[in-house]
Structures are given as structure tokens and as C-alpha cells.
Amino acid sequence: MCLRLGLLATLGCSLRGTPAKKPILARVDHVISNAVEKTVKARIFISYSRKDIAFADRLDAGLKARGFDTLIDRSDIRAFEEWWKRIEVLIAGADTLVFVLSPDAVQPGTAALKEVAFAASLNKRLAAYRLSSSRG
């Protein structure tokens, strides 16, 4: 409406509390997305078992070195309500969750599995890095 009605509508948009932005048509969306793809790096949440922290750190460093914005939880105690809320916010803000997949990480009731389940509920893209059995 803001676009179609021109000047008066601009006034109307301002009245409604919507800032009268520079119009963006859906058609331009492609162009913008492509530009985003080239300049924006994915935000990655790394989910892991405490036992695999050495690999998780290495993976974190490796992704950071490649320009990614990584989110990794290094807190020792992972049980409090506030901690989980913070994790939820971090996962919600992440583009992809990378799961360090190991026998320890998939034990029922681990924080890592809880994180994966939450990310799945948000339809986040999920990637798993499966550790070789020798590491177990």
C-alpha cells in the first residue's frame, strides 16, 4: 500500500508507526540474497558433549579461521533454567547447528541432544560431525 498510494500512503505508513522505508520489491530479493550470500557468514552454534571438548574447540577454531561467527557454550554446569534460556536465544539466533556426534553425545538426556531437539523444533539447518570410533 505504501508503494501504491505514493505520497499520501507514506504519510499513512508513518501514522501507523511503520517507517517509510525505501521500497523493496520481492523481485529485488534475489539480488539481495545473492549479495548476502557473498558477504554474510553463517552463524554457527556448536553442540557437543563435555567429553568431546577438545574436538569442539578445534572445530570452533577451524570455523572461526574460515570467517564464521561461532557460538559455543563452554559453561561447566548445564542445568539451570537461566542457562537453558540463554542457549535457546543463541540457537534461535544461529543459522545452523553443528553437532559433534559421538557415543557420549547421544546418550539419552545429554544437553547436546536437548540442544539438537530444540534446533530441530525451529527447523534449523543441522549438520553433524561424526567422530571416528577411535576417539570414543
Partner 1 sequence: MQRRSTSALRPIVFRPVEDKSVPQELAKLNFIFFDDATQFEQSADKLADALQTDIGWIRQHTEYGEAERRWSAAGRPSGLLLHSPTLEVAEHWLVTRPHYAPEPTGEIRAFAVQSRKAARSAQRVWRLVLASTFTFMAVTILGLIGWINQDYLKAQINWYWTMRPYKVENFDRYVLSADAERALNPGVSFRECAKDCPEMIVVPAGNFLMGSPTTEKDRYDNEDDGSGRQHKVTIATPFAVSKFDVTFSDWDACVLVGGCPKVGQADGTGGRGEDRPVTFVSWYGARVYVAWLSTMTGKTYRLLSEAEWEYAARAGTATAYYWGDEVGEGNANCSDCGSEWDGLRTSPVGSFKPNAFALHDMAGNVWQWVEDCEHVNYKGAPNDGSAWTSECILDRRVVRGGSWLNIPPDSRSAVRSNWPAGNRNGRLGFRVGRTLTP
Q: Which residues bind partner 1 (CB under 8 A)?
A: 1-3, 8-9, 12-13, 16-18, 21, 23-26, 29-30, 32-37, 40-44, 55, 58-59, 62-63, 66, 68, 92-96, 98-99, 101, 103, 106, 108, 113, 116-117, 120-132, 135
Find the helix packing angle between 111-121 and 81-92, rounded to 10°. Answer: 40
Q: CB 40 → partner 1: shortest distance, Å?
A: 6
Of residues 87 and 98, the one with the C-beta less far from partner 1: 98
Of residues 27 and 76, the one with the C-beta less far from partner 1: 27
Residues paired with residue 70 on neighbouring β-strands, in sequence order? 44
Q: CB 77 → partner 1: shortest distance, Å?
A: 22
CA pair distance 80, 95, nearest whole angstrom: 25
C-alpha cell at 112: 547436546
CA pair distance 4, 18, nearest whole angstrom: 15
Q: CB 38 → partner 1: shortest distance, Å?
A: 9
**35 with 80: CB under 8 angstroms?**
no
Of residues 17 and 76, the one with the C-beta less far from partner 1: 17
Cα 78 to chain center, whole Å?
A: 19
**13 with 61: CB under 8 angstroms?**
no
Of residues 76 and 109, the one with the C-beta less far from partner 1: 109
